[in-house]
Structure 1
Amino acid sequence: MMYLLWSLPALTVIGAIASGRVNTTTAAVLGLLAAIPIALFAAPTSFTLAQLAVALKRGAWIGWIITPYILGGLLFWQMAAQRRAGPDHGARESSATSLDLLERRRLLFFACFLVGPFAESATGFGVGMLGTVLLIRPLDLKPRETMVFALLSQTLIPWGAMGSGTLLASAYARVPAPQLALYSMVPVALLMIIWLALFWRTADRAGLRAPATERGREAVWMAASLALLSAATAVLGPETALLAAYGPLIVLRFLADRRPDRAQALAAARRAFPYIILIALLVTTRLVPGLNRGLASLAQWRPYADLPAWTPFLHAGTWLIAGALAMTAWQRRPGTLAAQARAAWKTGRHAVLSVFLFAMMAEALAGAGISQAYADGLFSSLRDWTILITPLLAGAFGILANSGNAPNSLFMPSQLSLALQAGLNVPAAAALLHVSGTAMGIFSPVRMSIAAGLAHGHGQERGVYVLLLPFALAAFGILLSLALLVVVST
């Protein structure tokens, strides 16, 4: 009975979203309101109002760290779109929409599986969806389909945000980060079969059907991309692997698909100039050790030792906002910035509020000891076979928290202990937990809210979830099968 009570906040959120009658923000408010009294009066240990206040502050800090990615990304994207709205804007849009069916299909693949993951690796926290939507917007797709394609940019999350989630998981699992990332490549590659099938089905619904030869070409590109990513991970580690692997692939794919002449190549470079400069600066600040250390030393705040620090001169959100300010100065239209800032808040407010509320709920449950007691009870009851429910638990927490950090911090210590006691493959067990928590975040209400905002599809989230349900079940099936393989192979 107590376990059911402890599950009530999560069940409240799931039920509210599934009802289709409330938005993500309202669902998060209901979940937090359910979590607070449970944490105060039903926790396994004493949990006071003062401790609750600390937990809520910790959740607010997490929200503060993530918010600049969302609002800064939206503001930068909208300012860049404003920059393109010059005299030749109509001609460019006409050129984009006049692509033949095969060219439109290839642009779609390029945006979802190359540009989106690259941008996500450089910045993290859903910013990759911005690049994807930007590229496919001229295709005039329906909001529901655009939302699905935006979510498909999130398929390589273990390498997102410079691999920070994988680095954190490796610390919990006491497994070297490159080794954990390479083991993670196995479930990621198998899940890519599901995501590619989702892409094919959604593209067909959008009227962008392709012959079997083109689907084969897409599958070959995907396999080559993952192979190159694996090699880069082995050599460089997860932090810079995707940037190093996908940068050349993006250029090669653009040249192969469009075969531009010199004028067209220069025109494409000018249109993409804000994004090229931004990504180049972000990559430089991360890959040049001296510059990275210098920027980090300028300012850093870490009120909680176990939570991310606020390093403004290294934070991608800071660079996104600075980029928007630079474009404002270049255009010499200061009034535009205020208008676009209001538009960015209108688009991203649900995602921002949801991040704060979900983080507060997770911190309250963790601070009260409920999360750990819930996990320990399950592991002590099922022993070796607990690993079979790891994908379900980690995936559910990943969906709820929009991050793999919650399931990693909650379950990884128990997963490590279980693997050692049962003689399981420790890197494989750790990678299974990590990928389950991170990969299933593609179905997170927070990410769905961001996708809805970018696609102007607020109110259509429930319909998109209906479309995604078979693929979510298939993904869980693959993860469960891998869990069984880990158990029986010992």
Structure 2
Amino acid sequence: MPLLLPALLSALPVVTVLLALALGLRSLSAALLGTAAAGLAIGLGFPIPPAAIPDILIHWLPILAEVLLIVAGGLLLSETLRHAGAQAALADWLRGRAGHGVGAVLLVVHGITPFAESVTGFGIGVTIGIPLLACFGLPARTVAVIGLLGLCAVPWGSMAPGTLIAATLADIPFQALGVRSACLSVIPFAVTGVVAAWLASAPDGRGRAVWQGILSGLVLTLAVTAVNAVIGTPPAGALGALVVIALHLLWAPQRGRVSLGASGLRAVQAYGVLLGGVLIAGGLTTTLAGLSGAWRYLASPALWLFVATAWFARGVPPAPPLRKAWTAWVQVAPVTGLFIGLGVLMAVSGMAAFLARTLAGAGTAYLAAAPFVAAAGGFVTGSNSGANAMFAATQAAIARALGVDVLWFMAVHNVAAAFLLMASPGKIEMAVQLAGGEAARQRRWIQTTILGVAAVVVVALAAANVGLATLR
């Protein structure tokens, strides 16, 4: 009995958030209740030494500020492009190249959004994917769900810092973890392809659409795995998604000659400024001696999203995009910030590690539970990096104690933690704001649908975890 109270307290924040969302409360209310529950748990059983608080703030406040700036920049770029008609021009071009149905949707889900997310990270891929999907004639709530499904390659988001954190804390090779994560990603890639194709197709065409979704997911799996193995993990998501984009456009049933137009061309150039800036600045700060620490912010999407927006917006009246982006950011930022703070509190107080160790008391049965622990971290923090910072070291220690292959175990953990990013309340709120229309009234349906898809993926990963341990 003496361990019962700490076990209950360690689970209290996550359970509180899930219960609040199940009862239909808004994301902000769920975040506030979860944070309050974490404060209660800290006060009753997981105290944080006062002397440690300054170091915690010094470490985490810059990360929080960067994430919130990235969200602001992504929303501003999206709204600026929409206001200028550039998103509609890009969507028309995609429809002309890839058709009007499932092929165009899968091009966004397995190509454009993963590519953008792999370079920018923090869920900003949806600020590119959702505005394009909104021009395809789909209902707003469907646009929000399909847009979120594009966050299926998050282990490589922002050039894979989350996967690097997992590899470092687990003391396993970074590239090897990337390769195994790519192999296991056949599950989320195929599931997201099937769901997106099903939602985007007419009832009489869903059989063929499902096969298209599976094939698209398999192609993305093969491409990301190959790049991981041959080139390395950081660029694997971006380069793998580029392969998918090229193949979708090459094999599209109709390939028209729709012009991008001036605004569409400027949008492509703006994305080039964003992606090129992140990649080039990242390469320079990595390779040039002495450029470390604060210099890494030169390669942050927090900078280049605003640079790309300013580059595109030359001559465009700034007031309407600024007002709408600010309105959306005010809705999204508090939720995102609170959930990051909740994840930090659980990690630094020891709640996260205690919860994992408690569940590990089930012995080999924990193999099935481990992906759910990882998924809880991704859901609460809305970040693969945050989830791995919370749980990776503990999960690796449990894997070694159970005598299972640590690389495969941690690959399952990594993929599960990353996939729940799309279900985190902060990302749901962002998708709702971007989709507009009826999406705000359908927030609960969107959240429930994404959680249902996530449950399928995590259950499949749990089965894979048990199967891999049996085969060893």
1:402–1:441: 8 Å Cα contact kept in structure 2?
Answer: yes
Q: Using the alignment, how far apart are the partners of 2:285 and 2:380 within structure 1?
A: 36
Map of 1:478 onto structure 2: 460
Distance 2:208 2:359 in 1: 48
| Residue 116 of structure 2: aligned partner | 119
Q: Which moved more, 1:316-325 or 1:267-276?
A: 267-276
User: Higher relative contact order at CA 8 Å, sep ≥6: structure 1 or structure 2?
Assistant: 1
* 1:461 pairs with one of 443, 461, 465: 443
SS in 2 for 1:239: coil
Q: What runs of 5+ residues in structure 1 fail to find an aligned partner?
A: 302-309
Task: Give the letter for the 1:315 counterpart.
Answer: S
Q: Equivalents in 2 of 1:11, 1:42: separation in Å?
A: 17
SS in 2 for 1:155: coil
Question: For 1:324-368, what per-residue CA distance to the aligned partner results, in whole angstroms no more than 9, with x for missing partners?
Answer: 22233x21x5xx334422311211223211222122222223333
Indicate whether 1:61 and 2:54 are aligned.
no
Q: Which residue of 1 aligns with 2:420?
A: 440
Q: How does 1:270-419 map to 2 (within 5 A)?
A: 270=266, 272-286=268-282, 289-290=283-284, 292-293=286-287, 297=291, 300-301=293-294, 311-328=296-313, 330-331=314-315, 333=316, 336-379=317-360, 381-419=361-399
* 1:122-133 correspondence runs (5 A): 122-133=119-130
TM-score, length basis structure 1: 0.85
Q: TM-score with structure 2 length normalisation?
A: 0.88
SS at match of 1:231: helix
Describe the shift of the 1:428–1:122 C-alpha distance in structure 2 as closer, same or farther (beyond 3 A): same
1:9 aligns with 2:6: no
* Distance (whole Å) between structure 1 residues aligned to residue 280 and residue 22 of structure 2: 43
Identity among equivalent positions (%) equals: 22
Cα distance between partner residues in 2 of 1:34 and 1:211? 44
CA distance in 1, matches of 2:91, 2:423: 34
Amino acid in structure 1 at the alignment position of 2:36:
L
Distance 1:275 1:144, change over 3 A: same
Residue in 2 that maps onto 1:307: none
Indicate which of 7, 14, 36 corresponds to 1:33: 36
The verdict on how the C-alpha distance between 1:255 and 1:374 changes in structure 2, with shifts beyond 3 A counting, is closer
3-state SS, counterpart of residue 299 of structure 2: coil
Distance 1:393 1:345 in 2: 35
Aligned partner of residue 175 in structure 1, secondary structure: coil
Q: Does 1:145 align with 2:142?
A: yes
- Contact 2:152–2:192 at 8 Å: present in 1 too? yes
**SS of the residue aligned with 1:313?**
helix
Considering only aligned residues, what root-mean-square deviation do their CA atoms show, in Å?
A: 3.0
Does the alignment pair 1:201 with 2:204? no
Query: 1:97 offset after TM fit, Å?
Result: 11
C-alpha deviation, 1:259, in angstroms: 2.4
Match of 2:225 among 224, 230, 243: 230
The answer on whether the counterparts of 2:356 and 2:395 sit within 8 Å (CA) in structure 1 is no
- Is the 2:75–2:329 contact (alpha carbons within 8 Å) kept by the matching residues of 1? yes
| CA separation of 1:353 and 1:320: change in aligned 2, threshold 3 A | same
Q: 2:123 aligns to what SS in structure 1?
A: coil
Instruction: Confirm or deny: 8 A CA contact 1:56 1:363 kept in the other structure.
Output: no
Structure 1 runs of 4+ aligned residues shifted over 6 Å read 96-101
Work out whether residues 356 and 373 of structure 2, in 8 Å CA contact, stay in contact via their aligned partners in 1: no
Q: Greater shift after overlay, 208-217 or 195-204?
A: 208-217
The alignment partner of 1:47 has SS state of: coil
Q: Give the conservation status (yes or no) of the 8 Å contact 1:24–1:446.
A: yes
Residues in 1 aligned to 2:58 and 2:442: alpha-carbon distance in whole angstroms: 32
Contact (CA 8 Å) 2:110, 2:193: kept in 1 or not? no
Letter in 2 for 1:253: H
Indicate the SS of the match to 1:169. Answer: helix
Deviation of residue 99 (structure 1)?
Answer: 6.7
Instruction: Give, in whole Å, the separation in 2 of the partners of 1:295 and 1:201.
Output: 50
Assess if the C-alpha contact under 8 Å between 2:119 and 2:157 holds in 1. yes
Partners of 1:395 and 1:437 within 8 A in 2: yes
Q: Secondary structure at the match of 1:7?
A: helix
Equivalent residue for 2:23, pick from 19, 23, 26: 19
Q: Deviations over 1:274-313 (max 9, x none)?
A: 2233223333333xx446555983x844xxxxxxxx7331
